[in-house]
Amino acid sequence: MRLKLIGNIAMASALLIGGVFTVSNEKVNAEKPTAGTEAYQHVYNLTESIGPRVAGSENESKAGDYIYRELEKLGYQPTKQSFSYTRNRVTVNSANIIGTKLSHSNKYKSDKQIIVGAHYDSVSVGKGADDNASSVGVILETAKALQKKELHYDIKFVFFGAEEQGLRGSNYYVSQMTQEEKNNTIAMINLDSLLAGDNIYVYGSPGEDGWIRDLALNIANKKKIPLQTNPGINPDYPEGTTGDWSDHAPFQKAGIPIGYLEATNWEIGDLDGYTQTVKHGGIWHTKNDNLEFLEEQFPGRVQEHLHDFTVVLTDLLQDIKKVK
Ligand SMILES: [Zn+2]
């Protein structure tokens, strides 16, 4: 909030004096667009133009196509990994959408990769803005920012289908990885539910494999972004870690170090990170999970979180140099 306020005051002063000092105006105009702006547009498109995206539904498929097209626009050559499963005796068809960013670098030529993932399906209640259009938006904006950058590793951006019906997309993705690919994956970074929660968090694997979390905390600290980790008040979820309820879980089980970005509040409710806000409790999986409610009830939070997570993820992917 503090940073945002300073920005607004600076902008207001520039506008006030703009008529007299044209230099100030030019300076303001030359400023780069705020991180999170494009992510917001993606959240809007996924939730207001498409709507709820239940696994196997036409809307889930529309959202998958939307992501595919956006990746194409960015110059990636996306692929669609279709899968199906049976639920209540009904066959459900879903798909993961994958965009690959090659390191494009002679300096750092590497056969290692990082997987960055988020689910794009939602439950039927609400519009799935927090859970999880928010993460799709942040990843697409990050994919754009990194498009022409030289990176130390290849990055696979994976958008999972059917998370809400038992982590189907991420389980399928891991089941299709060869042992060689698993060995070459130095990290999996999962994003889930970034908008509603009172605080912004990063979690990591227990022990030495928790290095992604530590790197993200360092980056945030330098940028004065209030990213924190699970304080570990609840002994079931030790400090710095989290539960196995999202798409990072199959990767962690496969022995791949994980990082995980989320907004929630670990200091209220059952101290398990499920109660996202003091003001309205949990937002995910309720009718309140839409942009209108979030922006009305938590002024500034949506933009602030999209900004902060986009900055952290973009810097993190450029800074990761550790070899497994
Ligand atoms: Zn989710």
Residue range 128-178, pLDDT digits in tens: 999 999 999 999 999 999 998 989 899 999 999 999 999 999 999 999 999
Residue 11's pLDDT band, with cuts at 50, 70 and 90, is very low
If pLDDT is split at 50, 70 and 90, which confidence band does 102 have? confident
Query: For the segment 215-242, what is each residue's pLDDT rounded down to a tens digit?
Result: 999 999 999 999 999 999 999 999 999 9
Contact present, 260 and 202 (Cβ < 8 Å): yes
Cross-strand bridge partners of residue 199: 264
User: If you measure from the C-alpha of residue 191 to the centroid of ligand 1, how many angstroms do you get, rounded to a whole number?
Assistant: 8
Q: Which residues contact 221 (CB under 8 A, 6 or more apart)?
A: 227
Percent share of the chain, pLDDT over 70: 87
pLDDT of the residue at 199? 98
Give the per-residue pLDDT at 108. Answer: 61
For residue 222, how far is its CA from the centre of ligand 1 (angstroms)? 28
> Rounded to the nearest whole angstrom, what is the distance from the C-alpha of residue 111 to the centroid of ligand 1?
30
- Quote the DSSP letter at residue 33: P
Banded model confidence at residue 104, pLDDT cuts 50, 70, 90: low
Give the pLDDT of residue 51.
98
C-alpha span between 318 and 321 (Å, rounded): 8
CA of 109 to the centre of ligand 1 (A): 34
Mean pLDDT of the chain: 90
DSSP assignment letter at 87: E
C-beta separation of 43 from 36 below 8 A: no
- Report CA(7)–ligand 1 centroid distance (Å): 31
State the pTM of this model: 0.89
What's the gap in Å between 131 CA and the centre of ligand 1? 5
Confidence of residue 9 (pLDDT cuts 50, 70, 90): very low
- Count CA atoms closer than 13 A to 100's CA, side-chain side: 11
SS3 content of the chain, % helix, strand, coil (to 5): 40, 20, 40
Please give the domain boundaries of the chain with CATH numbers for all domains: 1-31 (no CATH), 34-319 (3.40.630.10)
User: 3-class secondary structure for 120-159?
Assistant: CCCCCCCCCHHHHHHHHHHHHHHHHHHCCCCCCCEEEEEE
Give the pLDDT of residue 308. Answer: 98
Could you tell me which residues come within 8 angstroms of residue 29 by beta carbon, excluding any fewer than 6 positions away? none
What distance in Å separates the CA atoms of residue 256 and residue 221, rounded to the nearest whole number?
A: 25
Mean pLDDT of 205-211: 95
